[in-house]
Amino acid sequence: MCMWRSMYECHQVQKHIVQQLKYLNIIPSAEPTSEIHRQSTLQLELEVQQWHMSFCNLVKAQRDYIQYLTGWLHLSLFQFSRNPLSRTGQESKIYSLCEEWKLTVDRIPDKVASDGIKSFLTVIHAIVVQQADENKQKKKSESVFKDLEKKVVLLRSLECKYGPYSMPDSSGSSGKNPVAEKRVKVEILRAKAEEEKTKHEKSVCVTRAKTLNNLQMGLPHVFEAMVGFSSVCMHAYEAVYNQSKGADQEHDVKRILP
């Protein structure tokens, strides 16, 4: 009960903070995604995966706990007892509490919160994929520019050997001009390098815009789902506690409710 109240208050604060993202009017940076930034996004994806798994395990553990506890009490009080009618009022109250608790846990809408975390995971994965595409385009652009540098060096070497405006090779019948041919190839490669550079710059802008948009949409959604879930849990457990509370039972109720 106290745990869910603490979670509710914590998620309320988180929800308020992330809701401020929609008021940010940021011009996306043109800086490429750094390796540190990319690794941080991958780590965030892993953490959200762990969050989803831990949340599902928590809900399952609580349902299993009260199911086994209720089953054990039922066997002890009704089936294995020599005289089931002789059970005390305290035993009846505890069993009634567990029955009510089990019904409450079974009715808790955990799928909404679970789906909220999964949706946020999808949002983060989309950013990871876009950053990977950007990084791939960056490497492609760098590769073409390196190739261009090598071709330019070879062109300069030919120009030094034959002159920048050399005549066709007189030893052959084809009339080829090695410098002119190399210069054409260099210019074609230069145009390709500029094209790949432009693609990389566009990819950087897409990454920045997608990151901001996905976080502005995804973060409020997931914490709104968690606020709703923790609020339902808090009120549900408080209702069970209040219904079962008695002067002679209060300590026992506090001891077994989460």
Say which CATH number the domain at 97 has: 1.20.1270.60
Residue at 214 is within a domain: yes
Instruction: Return the pLDDT at 248.
Output: 47
Instruction: Return the pLDDT at 247.
Output: 38
Instruction: Return the pLDDT at 20.
Output: 87
Instruction: Return the pLDDT at 165.
Output: 61
Residue at 247 is within a domain: yes
Q: What proportion of the chain, given as a percentage, has pLDDT over 90?
A: 57
Rounded Cα distance, 72 and 78, in Å: 10
Average pLDDT value for the chain:
85
Which parts of the chain have pLDDT scores under 50?
85, 173, 247-248, 250-251
Count the neighbouring beta carbons within 10 Å of the beta carbon of residue 106: 10
Question: Domain range holding 245?
Answer: 8-16+32-256
CA of residue 6 relative to chain centroid, distance: 23
Residue at 152 is within a domain: yes
Cα–Cα–Cα angle for 61, 64, 70, rounded to 5 degrees: 140
Report pLDDT digits (tens) over 220-248: 999 999 999 999 999 998 888 887 775 34
